[in-house]
Structure 1
């Protein structure tokens, strides 16, 4: 069998050889390998312009070869063994993909998953167990003799983890970037959970040292900011005591803020004072604690932030620190989940030329997500990326402690200018308009006691946008319901100047225990609403996330497919019974999908009908038990 191993140069690719199988002849594993080879060829694995290396049977990478010396399928892992294909990318040193083939689809996967020599998935699993001692592994079992019957199963085994997770169910072989993305997502989920566990423990530790909640967050961001400087990262370990480390950090933070503020330090004076106040915590420098703390944060948090650059991990850590003080909402921090900030960027069409505004930016979650989208779209253009970070991200935050956190967050994520203004957004128009924003993304304060309707924040953001700009706001559902009072007047004023393009009802527990049911409203700026033009409505109540411990997680890996479905429906204004529709509305109408949604009765089965009849009968019985005779009226009405 021959196959070209290294694919960085242009060359002729030769696949595995196999003789055609005559009728009645035994099944040939070589045919399966050939089908896999052809699929990989179509998917670009052998494109000379990529850094992908496809290796049959053995690997040129010594570390992989060494790990496979204990991967014999026949002896249960006591001797050498090699998968049919080993695939890796020179630019992604920590990941490996392996493929194991079997001719017979009845030998695809066993119930016990330990019949390594006989079944495709079982054999791939053994190789993954060995290689995952040093790499994140995506392993694939393939069986079948024809393209039509080819069966493919994908699993992930991460380095340092015991569990095997099946992914991409029902899919055939995929392009290598898809596998890299899957591995990245799985690794992020595991490492993110570990990070939050660490931060939760650190929170308790700092609480034990009587460090106030607000100061914990500023201390945390200060350490991360200081670690941005390579000189500090190298030098802090050399200091003899924690007091010297703390003094060096404060000095370094002043330099960072001075550079970020350009000509004036006034903008960041409050943040500078916050950092300086850390000195007044003697518990930090006792027994060498602060030096140890910096080292821990570098190991557990800083490395994670750098490896996941445009995920707003920092804000999530802030919320973890502030959760006890923030239980009553007094600190005003309600974090928009990262998967939603990223989705809103996609819905708004954020690209490299967008100028993004968040006039209620909190700790900067929307801006960090937008930065990631814009930098990716710049495709490595350094001048453009520099311009994005210096001129195309604008935030406004009124509360001083949250403003300080937002500034820290943006600088940590590489924003060299940090155009975050400490101001009342209703007085910030002259500060924001010169940037000529084209997109506004916001999650305004909910019932903050100021008497200001959430839609007034939306109107202010729309007023700052360029004509035809797009604003997407996450607001309580009450804002989209009929209101005959002040709310109606606000809605009328909005539609006189701007048009409602879409409304999407969001998942019930999007903000965990904060209780507010929300929707996302999409407006086009400075284009008066035409009541004859239909608005698109989406029923987006199920995002695949489930509550686990204290947070919602995509534990079943459903979000990616749901996201693609939502995005496609929104961009194409698709109408699907039970989930989306088009309807003309005015300020006097409901702006919620639920008000106009039709039930798709074609999906109801006999089993559904029988189940609901039984539930109704049990409900009536319960009423009868609780209050004899009370169910008679119900029966009469029914």
Structure 2
């Protein structure tokens, strides 16, 4: 095993002229010998000055031994970061070892200028392009330029500006915001919007010409890729309401400039997140309209957990059959792109062939397309239509749905991550439909009410599912998970592997009690991480991956069939861990939210029955 092979892999990835090598490194940086306290000049294998910060790299072959192992590369790069003539400059260190691109080990370190502390940059385990590394540097050195708190605060302020004088209807604000974000990505629009004048015709709204330019920009950007299997969608028509937005022209331009400065530009430097989904939740919840939607959008930290649990590989094809605003697909896209190690041909393949999304709600579909566009694209296989091909809690597919099933199967999805609607039979039907789409051996990760498989009305359907798939894990979620959306439903994340052999009755399932996810409700800020989430998620992922009973994860293993062969979907062996204490107020709020939802559903069913027999409806 040769160190030169590792160095060549690094050169090939970044380009032969990108980094300065060894003895060509300017002496004024004063790197010292690899031993602590050494006084002789030392030379990292690679070096680059990024103006405000520098990068040092040490490569080793990866062979066992004190001078060739990955640990040796880590020790030496940390030595260079600590011993140099630029103590006030930020330094990113990279330790790399291995003999092939697929087997490379990579560790990233950061030293803040003016300090002696060298810390690992968590979550980075592969080579990445310099522009991507620069984003991570900005986040670790200066904080995420688009923090959750700042984003929420700005969106709340923006909502008030949209709400003033009923300028933008509450149900259209998220789409309006997405239109402005897309327009800001359109160079022709950026070049002219500040110079647009008001029309001379007083009968037109003052911002009519600006509105026209926004719609044209959206049309230019989003019409480039539309899947032929979708219901027909006219982007200009979808955003036609923008033409009637009546905001004073100068203020309108200021709003656009503020969005550009506070969200659009920082989002290019920040780690990816579902910005438009966040806006959707805030705008509707502030208007009191969230209950009007049979939709619960997944919190960001659970999106990441669920995609991690899907255990993506570089060639995986990811499906979301109820994609909402696209959160799961964006996270999957980011993980797959990271695995491409900067290979643009592979990244294009990911965008065009490895992401499949289906959504029936027109607003959410538009938001998903907008989100994917703003985060690097991936819209080639987003379909605007109903994804259900199983509607009666069986695996039978009607003739009219066979064409869609066969088309999705032709794309060979082997991972599916979804958060379906929770009302009625939707959870069971979406589970069955997803398994119908997946390749043999494919994994389904789905969050749904925790009693979906165990309630008596689903007994036959649950048995049918377990004849088509292995149940791998069940992770119970906090009751307050959807607090910000006014929902108190109790949910679990279920993990299935599609298998023609079904679930063996003696197979152990990993159960996890994650009632405490480290998040707390904070007045005016929703649920926020108290600083414990990373450790909790790491423990849970390890318990699921390695089939372990861990106290840190509150996990246990159990069969789901008793000695008589009866299904106990919640596990024959019950939760052995002491129950986490919950605040009485928190529990009361969650119970109230759940009761409110159940009451609303009961009124709807009663009114349907009354209308069916020709009587009036009840006043809720």
Q: Kindly report which structure 2 residues correspond to 1:397-416, keeping only aligned pairs within 5 A, or say none.
A: 397-416=359-378
**Secondary structure of 2:356's partner?**
strand
**Secondary structure of 1:268's partner?**
coil
After superposition, give the CA deviation of every residue in 1:520-560 in whole Å (9 maximum; x if it has no partner). Answer: 11111133111122222122222211112345555442222
Which residue of structure 2 aligns with residue 236 of structure 1? 193
Q: Does 1:367 align with 2:352?
A: no
Shift of 1:328: 5.0
Change (3 A) 1:56 1:420: same
| Preserved CA contact (<8 Å) 1:258 1:264 | no
Residue of 536, 541, 547 corresponding to 1:562? 536
Q: Does 1:321 align with 2:289?
A: no
Greater shift in the superposed pair: 362-371 or 500-509: 500-509
Which residue of structure 1 aligns with residue 49 of structure 2? none
For this pair of structures, how many residues does the alignment match? 473
| Preserved CA contact (<8 Å) 2:418 2:445 | yes
Greater shift in the superposed pair: 512-521 or 458-467: 512-521
Change (3 A) 1:526 1:196: same
Q: Does 1:492 align with 2:463?
A: yes
Which residue of structure 1 aligns with residue 472 of structure 2? 501
Change (3 A) 1:298 1:189: closer
Shift of 1:589: 3.3
| Preserved CA contact (<8 Å) 2:519 2:533 | yes
Partners of 1:338 and 1:387 lie apart in 2 by 26
Q: Does 1:583 align with 2:558?
A: yes
Shift of 1:456: 1.6
Residue of 273, 281, 295 corresponding to 2:237? 273
- C-alpha RMSD of matched pairs (Å): 3.6
Q: Kindly report which structure 2 residues correspond to 1:595-614, keeping only aligned pairs within 5 A, or say none.
A: 596-599=574-577
**Secondary structure of 1:519's partner?**
strand
Shift of 1:200: 0.2
Partners of 2:287 and 2:490 lie apart in 1 by 23
| Preserved CA contact (<8 Å) 1:356 1:394 | yes
Shift of 1:140: 5.5
Shift of 1:595: 5.6
Which residue of structure 1 aligns with residue 224 of structure 2? 259
Change (3 A) 1:182 1:572: farther
After superposition, give the CA deviation of every residue in 1:592-635 in whole Å (9 maximum; x if it has no partner). Answer: 3696122479xx9xxx9xxxxxxxxxxxxxxxxxxxxxxxxxxx
Which residue of structure 1 aligns with residue 139 of structure 2? 184
Q: Does 1:200 align with 2:145?
A: no
Partners of 2:356 and 2:307 lie apart in 1 by 15
**Secondary structure of 2:258's partner?**
helix
Partners of 1:351 and 1:45 lie apart in 2 by 30
| Preserved CA contact (<8 Å) 2:284 2:290 | no
Shift of 1:437: 0.6
Q: Does 1:519 align with 2:492?
A: yes
Q: Does 1:442 align with 2:440?
A: no
Greater relative contact order (Cα < 8 A, sep 6+) = 2
Change (3 A) 1:16 1:257: closer
Which residue of structure 1 aligns with residue 111 of structure 2? 97
Partners of 1:307 and 1:494 lie apart in 2 by 43
Shift of 1:433: 2.0
Change (3 A) 1:436 1:581: same
| Preserved CA contact (<8 Å) 1:341 1:365 | yes
Which residue of structure 1 aligns with residue 606 of structure 2? none
Q: Does 1:10 align with 2:22?
A: yes
Q: Does 1:477 align with 2:432?
A: no
Shift of 1:263: 7.7
Which residue of structure 2 aligns with residue 148 of structure 1? none
Partners of 1:476 and 1:309 lie apart in 2 by 30
Greater shift in the superposed pair: 196-205 or 571-580: 571-580
| Preserved CA contact (<8 Å) 1:539 1:593 | no
Shift of 1:175: 3.5
Partners of 1:466 and 1:405 lie apart in 2 by 28
| Preserved CA contact (<8 Å) 1:310 1:371 | no
Shift of 1:490: 1.4
Change (3 A) 1:263 1:452: closer
Shift of 1:229: 1.9
Change (3 A) 1:265 1:243: farther
Change (3 A) 1:18 1:272: closer
**Secondary structure of 1:575's partner?**
coil
Shift of 1:57: 6.3
Shift of 1:255: 1.6
Partners of 1:274 and 1:496 lie apart in 2 by 43
Partners of 2:225 and 2:417 lie apart in 1 by 24
Residue of 388, 395, 416 corresponding to 1:426? 388
| Preserved CA contact (<8 Å) 2:229 2:383 | no
Q: Kindly report which structure 2 residues correspond to 1:70-219, keeping only aligned pairs within 5 A, or say none.
A: 86-89=89-92, 97-98=111-112, 139=115, 174-175=119-120, 184=139, 187-188=143-144, 191-210=147-166, 211-219=168-176
Change (3 A) 1:328 1:409: closer
Tell me the TM-score normalized by structure 2: 0.69
Q: Does 1:44 align with 2:74?
A: yes
| Preserved CA contact (<8 Å) 1:45 1:176 | no
Partners of 1:195 and 1:252 lie apart in 2 by 24
Shift of 1:46: 4.9
Which residue of structure 2 aligns with residue 68 of structure 1? none
After superposition, give the CA deviation of every residue in 1:340-365 in whole Å (9 maximum; x if it has no partner). Answer: 11111111111321111111111111
Partners of 1:217 and 1:418 lie apart in 2 by 23
Q: Tell me, which stretches of 5 or more residues in structure 2 are unaligned?
A: 1-18, 24-30, 40-65, 95-108, 125-132, 199-206, 390-403, 582-620
| Preserved CA contact (<8 Å) 2:77 2:93 | no
| Preserved CA contact (<8 Å) 1:470 1:525 | yes
